[in-house]
Amino acid sequence: MIILGVRYVSTLNTSIDTTLSSTDQVTLSNSQQIQGLPFSIECVGIVTYVEDGDTINIKSTEGFRVGETFPVRFADIDTPPKSTSSGANAKSALNELIYGEVIGLDINDLKNYDKYGRVVAVVYLQIGDSTVMNVNKWLVDNRYANIWDFDDNEFNPYAWQLLYDIS
Residue ranges in contact with Ca ion by CB under 5 A = 40, 76, 106-107, 109, 149-150, 153, 155
99 versus 114: smaller Cβ distance to Ca ion: 114
Question: CA 150, CA 152: separation in Å to the nearest integer?
Answer: 6
Q: In terms of CB distance, is 42 or 82 closer to Ca ion?
A: 42
Distance CA 92, CA 107 (A): 24
CB nearer Ca ion, residue 54 or residue 82 = 54
Least Å from the CB of residue 30 to Ca ion:
9
Chain centre distance of CA 1: 17
CB of 155 to Ca ion, least distance (A): 4
Give kind and range of the element (H or E) at residue 105.
Answer: strand 102-107
Q: Tell me the chain's radius of gyration from C-alpha atoms.
A: 15
Residues whose CB falls within 8 Å of the CB of residue 159, separated by 6 or more in sequence, listed in order: 38
CB 125 within 8 A of CB 103: yes
Min dist. Cβ of residue 44 to Ca ion (A): 13
**Rounded least distance, CB 124 to Ca ion, Å:** 11
- Identify which of residues 40 and 79 has a Cβ nearer to Ca ion in the complex: 40
